[in-house]
Amino acid sequence: MRFALGTATNLLIGAQQLAWLVAKRMRTTSPGVRQRLERHVVEVQKTVRTCAGCGLCCTEAHNSVRIVSSEAERIAAHLQTLSTTRRAALLARVAQSIDHYGLRATKKQNYTCPFLEQDLTCALPLQVKPVACLAFNPLTPDACDQEPEWYAEAHAPELKASQKQASKPALKPIPVALMNALRDSAASATSRRPR
């Protein structure tokens, strides 16, 4: 499954519709849990250790993050707010990631996140990051790990939101889930156009 840059860019046709859907879904899910997790991340970054300049958890050596459709839709809506040039560059990295690692929806595998910047920061703001990323934090100055209690509590609303679309929400690698969200949004926008 190869994704060409032109294909990725064309998938943003329904991005405004997608942004509306994400905003609506975020109002109907439990934002308090996610906001508490975001505050926890900020506090950990201040008191334990900052992640700035590390990025190791986002690399192929450690990253196998899989997300549900509601998280992918949040990322897609965020991309719509970026300049055309920045959006195209990030989508090119997403497509390259899928091709380079041979990412598939049904297979759990390691990959370097396409949103990891060269300076080892994340291209996604805190409010857009997947829950799995937010719940992986420095526990000591020398060790990071998933905080399962935070993940379980904050991921439950994401699963519930995604369950409305499918009987069993599928976890997919970030790049695959994002491309699927963009494709579905474009298809939905196309099917709603007057003929």
> Which pLDDT score, from 0 to 100, does residue 195 have?
59
Q: Model pTM greater than 0.85? A: no
What is the chain's Cα-based Rg? 16
Residue ranges covered by each domain of the chain: 5-191
SS3 42: helix
Quickly list H helices, 48-173.
69-80, 84-101, 131-134, 148-163
* Predicted confidence (pLDDT) at residue 192 exceeds the cutoff of 70: no
**Residue 65 and residue 113 in contact, taking contact as beta carbons nearer than 8 Å:** yes
Higher-scoring residue by pLDDT: 138, 65: 65
**Residue 60 and residue 101 in contact, taking contact as beta carbons nearer than 8 Å:** yes
- Which tens digit of pLDDT belongs to each residue from 13-22? 444 444 444 4
